[in-house]
Structure 1
Amino acid sequence: MSDWNPSLYSRFEDERTRPARELLARVPLENARHVVDLGCGPGNSTELLAQRFPKADVVGTDNSPSMLDSARKRLPGVQFELSDISQWAPAQAPDLIYANAALQWVPQHETLIPKLFAALAPGGVLAIQMPDNRSEPTHRSMRDVAGQAPWAGAIGEAASLRTAILQLQDYYDLLAPQAFQIDVWHTIYQHPMASPAAIVEWVSATGLKPFVEPLNAELRASYLAEYEKRIAAAYQPRADGKLLLAFPRMFIVAQRKS
């Protein structure tokens, strides 16, 4: 994929940062010396980590140069590094590896998650939040439209455009043998949205990106028009005229044995 758009991503920053705060609130560490924000994006989650652990060495990593540029402007005193999560290995064992809305883009969780957990210092914590919304109308519609003419030829196999995450209990089983304690849960956020177009704008910064990126300008416009039509049919106005966007998210907080 081409680079990410920090400005588009940040238009819903409050909504995107709320799960990051709630993930961090469940991290069972009073102090930390070395903290890594995997897939830090524009630095909104890294800022939370720096505030929570002011004496720690906080490092943010991402594979997007534009996101890192945005993060460095936001937090000039924090170190940010360009890296691919699938290949990432820390120079020193972190006390906290924090991955908010990042690992759903990285394949092979059966090996990735144990590798990240093993990279922690003894007693360290792996904290993960991932969208679990592949079955929601927003994402079903992406695949349904992508599978039809005239878009299917350019987009290809729609089901392969996003990594399939595991079931919550599978992550528990991957971590349990080396864990002192594990906390796993689901939360379904309900975001009031002004219109179908606002929902399309929300997902354009993330899940919709690999679907529209292969399309030329004409196909992209027609795809988005058909997609927005389906969103309007799937999300009915509530009593105040707004639409409720249900957004399931998965949370995993695991602490290594000391």
Structure 2
Amino acid sequence: MSSYNWNAEDYQQNSAAQQQWACELIAKLALTGSENLLDLGCGDGKITAEIADRLPNGTVIGIDNSSSMITLARQQYPANRYPNLTFERMDARALAFENQFDVVFSNAVLHWIKDHRPVIGGLFKSLKPGGKILLQMGAKGGISAYLAVLDQILLLPEWKIYFQNFEFPYGFMGVEEYEVMLLAAGFQIQRVELIAKDALHANKEKFKGWIRTTWLPYTERVPEGEREQFIELIATRYLEKKPQDAEGRVHVPMVRLEVAAEKV
């Protein structure tokens, strides 16, 4: 997670799908306005600030492992305008909180971590008794059409040279394995379910922006001078399989894993 060079400003311009999913997830929190909340993997802080607006009598801490994301979040959502909101650089696998939060929220983040057990243990410790988690992340087998195109490209001679000893970088989980980890940490499970999503990109350029800003484990292995060519090829090959719709939009079908649990 920490080894990737996140471009916070570029991500901000190419994360419309993630933002939409976050808004849908926030609605499920049913906030009363006075909770202390942790946003795990806050990114550029846009969603974290929106949550802070909904908690006039509460507090929000946004954490992220990327220093560029935290810097941008602090610049855009300063304490003088958001007195109940703070941002900290922190690894989700080494949370430094204890009995502090009523709610932990996380959207489109945890699939960046391969072993979720230290995260889940840290979440349990971070929550007050009665505190809840609501997490959504990529699921096992949840983006198969896109990954099939990517896998084919990695076999081409001109790109294969950059992917020697490459290991699949994401921690996509299934329902049963997540339930086992939650129970082992002490959580009472409310639900763990798969939810179908359509990641919608306004046009091919926005689709390429999504590839460029969120598929760093792949793009960063390619020399910088060849990176745009690599991204263009991924986008073109994908659109041969799943063409743009009548409005020119690009659809990437996905399945997300959504987790709701409580510390009793």
Q: TM-score, normalised by structure 2?
A: 0.84
Rounded to whole Å, the distance in 1 between the matches of 2:67 and 2:172 is: 25
Shift of 1:180: 4.3
Classify 1:91/1:52 alpha carbon distance in 2 versus 1 (closer, same or farther; 3 Å): same
Given that 2:98 and 2:125 are in contact with CA atoms closer than 8 Å, whether structure 1 keeps it comes out as no
Q: CA deviation at 1:130?
A: 0.7
What's the CA shift string for 1:152-174, capped at 9, x where partnerless? 232334442x2232202322333
Q: CA deviation at 1:241?
A: 4.2
The equivalent of 1:70 in structure 2 is 72
Partner of 1:25: 27
Aligned to 1:42: 44
Task: Report deviation, 1:182.
Answer: 1.1
Counterpart residue number, 1:151: 159
String of CA shifts for 1:125-173, please: whole Å, max 9, x gaps. Answer: 112111236543323323332243222232334442x223220232233
SS in structure 2 of the partner of residue 21 of structure 1: helix
> What are the within-5 Å matches in structure 2 for residues 89-100 of structure 1?
89-90=96-97, 92-100=99-107
In structure 1, give the amino acid aligned to 2:253: A
**Aligned 8 A contact 1:27 1:127 in 2:** yes
> What is the aligned-residue RMSD (CA, Å)?
2.5
How far 1:70 sits from its partner (Å)?
1.4
Partner of 2:82: none
From 163, 180, 194, the equivalent of 1:173 is 180
Query: Structure 1 residue 50: deviation in Å?
Result: 0.7
Percent identity of paired positions between Structure 1 and Structure 2: 24
Confirm or deny: 8 A CA contact 2:94 2:122 kept in the other structure.
no
> In the TM superposition, what whole-angstrom CA distance separates every residue of 1:85-141 from its partner, at most 9, and x where no partner exists?
112221553211222111111221244324422431100011211123654332332
> Which moves more between the two structures, 87-96 or 28-37?
28-37
Stretch deviating more after TM superposition (104-113 or 130-139): 130-139
Unaligned runs of 5+ in 2: 80-84
- For structure 1, list consecutive stretches of 5 or more residues without a partner in the other structure: none
Query: How far, CA to CA, are the matches of 1:219 and 1:48 in structure 2?
Result: 38
Alpha-carbon displacement from aligned partner over 1:215-248 (angstroms, at most 9, x marks no partner): 2234324422332231121212334443322233
Match of 1:128 among 106, 122, 135: 135
Q: Do 1:45 and 1:100's aligned partners in 2 also have CA atoms closer than 8 Å?
A: no
**Structure 2 residue 149 is matched with structure 1 residue 141:** yes
Q: Distance in 1 between matches of 2:170 and 2:199?
A: 24
Bigger CA drift: 224-233 or 128-137?
128-137
Instruction: Give the stretch that moved more between structures: 27-36 or 137-146.
Output: 27-36
Deviation at 1:62, TM superposition (A): 1.0
CA distance in 1, matches of 2:44, 2:111: 17
Task: Tell me if the contact between 2:143 and 2:254 (Cα under 8 Å) persists in the aligned partners.
Answer: no
Q: Structure 1 residue 41: deviation in Å? A: 0.4
Structure 2 CA distance for partners of 1:15 and 1:227, relative to 1, 3 Å:
closer
